[in-house]
Structure 1
C-alpha cells in the first residue's frame, strides 16, 4: 500500500484543524473553542495540533484566514449565470446576502464579538476584515457588471454589503428567510435603477467611453 507523503498528511491535518475550529466557533461559541476541543473534534493529538498552531490565537487567526478564503471562493463559484438586467441584480444581491448566513458567518460573528473586548485579538482581526471587505466589494462589482468609478454606484455596492451583513445578523436567532427575501427584492430594484442610471450617464458622456 502506498503511504501518503508526509507533506500531504501535514496539509490534511492542518485542514481538519481549521475546519473543526470553524465548526466549534459556530456551534459552541468563542469560550468553548479551545485547542483541546478542536483537536478532539479533528481527531488530532494535542501535540500535533500545537505543532501546527502553537497558541489558541494562532489557531483562531489561521481559521479566520481560512474562512476568508472559503467565503471568497464560494462567492466566485456562485456568480449568477443570468443575463444583465434586473434579474441578474436580484440574483447577485440574494447571493451576497446568503454569504452572511451559515457556519462561516456564525463562526466569524463569534470572533468579532470576542475581539470587541480583546485588543490583541482585534489587532489580528482588523487586517483580515479589511482585506475581506476590499475583495468582497470587488467581487460584488464584477458580479453586478457595475461601474465602480461612479461614486453613487460605489456607495450603493458598499451599502448592499452592509445590508447583507445586517440581514445575516438578524438571521442568527430566528429564521428570517421570508422577510429577507422581501427586503432583497426591494433593495435589488433600487440598486438596479442606480446601475441603469450610471450606464445611461456613461453612455451620454463621450469622455467616459
Structure 2
C-alpha cells in the first residue's frame, strides 16, 4: 500500500510575509530598479503566479514593501500601535526611544535609507504610519512646556531621521566588528540627545544669529 503524500497546508499570510521580506532585501540591495515580481518570487522561493496573487503589479508590491518596513519601524521604536492613543508625550522616555531608533537603523541601514527616500518623495508623507507618529510626536512635544520655543517639528523630523538612517552606512564601512558598531551607535544616540538638550552654539557668542532666530519665531507665532 502506497503511503499518502501529505499535502502542505497553505498559509497566505506567511507567504505574503515571505514575499515582502524578499522584496525589502532586493530594495535595500539594488534599489527600485532591482525589484520585479519575478526576482522577488525567485528570492522568496515561490512561483511567479503566487506572487501575482498577492500583488497584481510591481508598483503595488513596492508600495506594500515600504508599508511593511514602516510597520517594522513603528513596532521597533514605538511598540504596539494600539497603545499609542494611551501615551502622553510628556511621559515618553526620550533616551530609550532614541536608542531603539538608532539600534533598528544600525541593524537595517539600507532598508531604512530606502524607506526614508520613498516616504519623503511621496505626495503625502503623513500617510505613512511611522512618519506620522514620529513627526506627530515631535509636534505634540513642541506644544508642551518641555520644549524650546519655535521648534519646526517637520524639519526636525527630517534632520533626525536622515542622520539616524545614514550614519550606519558610514559605521558599517569603518567599524571592525559588532562591538565597535555598537559603540558607534551609542555615540550617535548620545549626540542626538545632546543636540536636543543643549544645541551646539553658545548664543552669547553669536548675537546676530540669536536675533535672526528670535525674528523667525516671532514670524512663526504671528
Do these two structures clear the TM 0.5 threshold for a shared fold by scoring above it? Answer: yes
Counterpart in the other structure of 1:134: 132
Q: What do residues 91-118 of structure 1 show as CA deviations (whole Å, max 9, x unaligned)?
A: 3323333343333x513534666x69xx
Q: What do residues 53-94 of structure 1 show as CA deviations (whole Å, max 9, x unaligned)?
A: 11111100011111111110111249xxxxx99xx5433323
Structure 2 distance, partners of 1:154, 1:193, is: 14
Q: Are the counterparts in 1 of residues 23 and 62 from structure 2 also a CA contact under 8 Å?
A: yes
Q: Are the counterparts in 2 of residues 167 and 180 from structure 1 also a CA contact under 8 Å?
A: no
Counterpart pick for 1:33 among 17, 32, 35? 35
Pair member with larger Rg: 2
Q: Does 1:184 align with 2:189?
A: yes
Q: Where do 1:112-127 residues align within 5 Å?
A: 122=121, 125-127=122-124
Counterpart in the other structure of 1:152: 149
Counterpart in the other structure of 1:90: 95
Counterpart in the other structure of 2:49: 47
Counterpart in the other structure of 2:16: 14
Q: Are the counterparts in 2 of residues 26 and 106 from structure 1 also a CA contact under 8 Å?
A: yes
Structure 1 position 183, deviation (Å): 4.4
Counterpart in the other structure of 1:201: none
Structure 2 distance, partners of 1:157, 1:191, is: 15
Structure 2 distance, partners of 1:128, 1:160, is: 12
Counterpart in the other structure of 1:100: 105
**Deviating runs (4+, > 6 A) in structure 1?**
none
Change in Cα spacing, 1:168 to 1:15, as seen in structure 2 (3 Å) is same
Alignment RMSD: 3.8
Counterpart pick for 1:67 among 69, 78, 85? 69
TM superposition score normalised by structure 1: 0.62
TM superposition score normalised by structure 2: 0.59
> 5+ residue gaps in structure 1?
79-83, 117-121, 195-209
Larger RCO (CA under 8 A, 6+ residues apart): 1
Report how many residues are paired. Answer: 172
Structure 1 position 141, deviation (Å): 8.0
